[in-house]
């Protein structure tokens, strides 16, 4: 009999999110692949087999076992869009928005991203690391086992590099897998006001190569995963043309690309990002018509971020149902950031997606795991419980996975396993 390092057995449900054909689209998104009275055999960092407890306990002998009786076992959550490294907070803007001032008006008046930029430039490396480290630990407690983290609050080369160095330091201290993203094109910094093309040139000619050089000497290069590059395509941020130029230059440097598009204004950023081979297009709050079809026909994943709409007090959410009906691959992420979404919780994001975007619980879970993994180019390795994949999984305090979305506001995560090791 084959001896493995760990068997988790007796689970009321093992929810696999397994998919033979890449990211889930259409009807496949509503299938989470439930194994009742299920078990998972793990050898080292990888899953060896998933099946009924009877089969797994018959076929494998384990050095350690974990009894998951009455619990749900599911893949670790993949948070494919976050900005967890930043200085300061935006509590004053929170109160302004409660008073009726809009996010875009605050940004136009020099607050918003620019206010966090000032705090991030002023913050010592150690403070940024300490605060982001606390956020990351909370996210892991909430079940996130892989997380994308963006730069983008420096907006000058030195501070963008400081943020990237913080992201690398987080990877050295956290069991979570981190995907680093260079977002020098997050806003036009005040010193370039009225000179957006000059700032775009700085991003292309100086920052991208500095970020590339940083990446080549970082732990991320050793892992073989590429550096990602992102642009905020929006009114008062970057135009479609600037977005295209930046993403093309990033591609030429070997980076994976993606973009914030259609958050407030439909500028055609989705089309531009797809032309540049984007892995994902994110936000999609005002995406309509031909661009929905274009997304559905592409390999890119549409990442929707309902915590942003909720936080901004909006009743308008990205039309995830229309994307799914059209055949697009949809994923969910928190967008954790100090302005538009101070939310660390993937379970809460799934709860919102079910209520405001009318995703079924199964669709929300696939969107927060398998499809999110594809949004990061990691779908072959993580995001589902399948033989050969990394053993990133959760034991949840419930006997039906739909409780994960039905309840909200608490934390049902009992255990977190990363690469086969119990980290919580
Ligand atoms: O994804 N939209 C641009 N970037 C962030 C917000 C950043 C901020 O407000 O600090 C987002 O929503
Ligand atoms: Fe964002």
DSSP 273-293: HHHTT-SEEEE-TT--THHHH
Of ligand 1's listed atoms, the one at least distance from the Cα of 335 is 1
> In sequence order, what are the residues at sequence separation of 6 or more whose Cβ sits closer than 8 angstroms to the Cβ of residue 48?
2, 4, 41, 42, 60, 387
What's the CA-to-centroid distance between 188 and ligand 1, angstroms? 13
pLDDT classification of 1: cutoffs 50, 70, 90: confident
What's the CA-to-centroid distance between 113 and ligand 1, angstroms? 7
Which residue blocks in 123-281 are alpha helix, DSSP H?
125-141, 157-173, 196-202, 208-216, 219-223, 240-252, 269-275
pLDDT value of position 172: 98
Ligand 1, atom 6, lies closest to the CA of 340
pLDDT classification of 320: cutoffs 50, 70, 90: very high
Which residue blocks in 268-377 are alpha helix, DSSP H?
269-275, 290-297, 306-311, 320-326, 346-356, 361-368, 370-375
CB 174 within 8 A of CB 136: yes
Mean pLDDT of the chain: 98
pLDDT value of position 123: 98
Ligand closest in space to the Cα of 308: 1
Ligand closest in space to the Cα of 186: 1
Q: What is the mean pLDDT of residues 1-29?
A: 96
Ligand 1, atom 5, lies closest to the CA of 340
Q: Which residues line ligand 1 (CB under 6 A)?
A: 83, 112-113, 116, 232, 260, 263, 308, 335, 337-340
What's the CA-to-centroid distance between 341 and ligand 2, angstroms? 9
Ligand closest in space to the Cα of 150: 2
Pocket-testing residue among 232, 261, 281, ligand 1, by greatest number of atoms within 8 A of Cβ: 232
Of ligand 1's listed atoms, the one at least distance from the Cα of 263 is 2
pLDDT value of position 234: 97
Q: How far apart are CA 376 and CA 378, in angstroms?
A: 5
What's the CA-to-centroid distance between 336 and ligand 1, angstroms? 9
Q: Give the whole-number percent of the chain exceeding pLDDT 90.
A: 99
Of ligand 1's listed atoms, the one at least distance from the Cα of 113 is 10
Please write the tens of the pLDDT for every residue from 64-86.
999 999 999 999 999 999 999 99
Ligand closest in space to the Cα of 311: 1
CB 78 within 8 A of CB 383: yes
| Angle between helical axes of 240-252 and 208-216 (0-180°, round to 10) | 30
Please write the tens of the pLDDT for every residue from 359-415.
999 999 999 999 999 999 999 999 999 999 999 999 999 999 999 999 999 999 999
Please write the tens of the pLDDT for every residue from 137-161.
999 999 999 999 999 999 999 999 9
CB atoms within 10 A of CB 399: 13
Pocket-testing residue among 80, 238, 305, 335, ligand 1, by greatest number of atoms within 8 A of Cβ: 335
pLDDT classification of 286: cutoffs 50, 70, 90: very high
Please write the tens of the pLDDT for every residue from 217-226.
999 999 989 9
What's the CA-to-centroid distance between 340 and ligand 1, angstroms? 6
CB atoms within 10 A of CB 191: 9
Q: How far apart are CA 377 and CA 300, in angstroms?
A: 10
Ligand 1, atom 9, lies closest to the CA of 339
What's the CA-to-centroid distance between 67 and ligand 2, angstroms? 39
The CA-atom distances, in angstroms, between 340 and each of 77, 82, 87, 113 are 21, 11, 15, 10
**Is the confidence at residue 205, as pLDDT, over 90?**
yes
């Amino acid at each position: 009999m084959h001896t493995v390092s760990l068997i988790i057995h007796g689970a009321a449900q093992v929810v696999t999110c397994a998919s033979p054909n890449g990211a889930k689209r259409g009807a496949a998104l509503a299938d989470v692949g439930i194994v009742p009275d299920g078990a998972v055999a793990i050898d080292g960092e990888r899953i060896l087999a998933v099946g009924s407890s009877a089969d797994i306990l018959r076929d494998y002998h384990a050095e350690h076992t974990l009894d998951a009786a009455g619990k749900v076992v599911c893949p670790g959550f993949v948070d494919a869009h976050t900005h967890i490294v930043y200085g300061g907070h935006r509590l004053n803007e929170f109160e302004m928005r409660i008073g009726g001032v809009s996010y875009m008006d605050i940004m136009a008046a020099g607050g918003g991203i620019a206010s966090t930029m000032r705090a991030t430039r002023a913050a010592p490396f150690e403070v940024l690391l300490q605060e982001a480290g606390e956020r990351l630990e909370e996210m892991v407690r909430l079940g996130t086992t892989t997380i994308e983290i963006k730069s983008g609050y420096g907006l000058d080369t030195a501070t963008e590099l400081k943020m990237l160095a913080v992201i690398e330091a987080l990877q050295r201290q956290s069991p979570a897998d981190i995907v680093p993203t260079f977002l020098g094109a997050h806003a036009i910094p005040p010193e370039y006001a009225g000179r957006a093309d000059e700032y775009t040139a700085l991003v292309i000619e100086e920052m991208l190569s500095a970020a590339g050089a940083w990446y080549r000497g970082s732990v991320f290069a050793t892992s073989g995963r590429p550096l990602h590059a992102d642009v905020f395509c929006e009114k008062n941020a970057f135009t479609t043309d600037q977005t295209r130029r930046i993403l093309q230059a990033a591609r030429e440097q070997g980076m994976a690309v993606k973009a914030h598009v259609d958050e407030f204004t439909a500028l055609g950023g989705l089309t531009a990002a797809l032309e540049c081979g984007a892995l994902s297009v994110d936000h999609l709050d005002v995406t309509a018509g031909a661009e929905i079809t274009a997304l559905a026909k592409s390999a890119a994943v549409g990442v929707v971020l309902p915590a942003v709409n909720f936080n901004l007090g909006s009743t308008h959410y990205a039309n995830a149902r229309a994307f799914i009906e059209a055949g697009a691959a949809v994923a969910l992420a928190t967008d954790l950031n100090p302005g538009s979404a101070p939310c660390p919780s993937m379970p809460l994001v799934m709860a919102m997606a079910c209520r405001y975007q009318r995703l079924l619980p199964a669709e929300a879970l696939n969107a927060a795991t398998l499809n999110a993994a594809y949004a990061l180019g990691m779908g072959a390795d993580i995001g589902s419980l399948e033989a050969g994949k990394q053993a990133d999984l959760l034991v949840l305090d419930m006997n039906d996975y739909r409780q994960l979305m039905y309840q909200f506001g608490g934390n049902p995560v009992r255990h977190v396993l990363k690469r086969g090791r119990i980290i919580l």
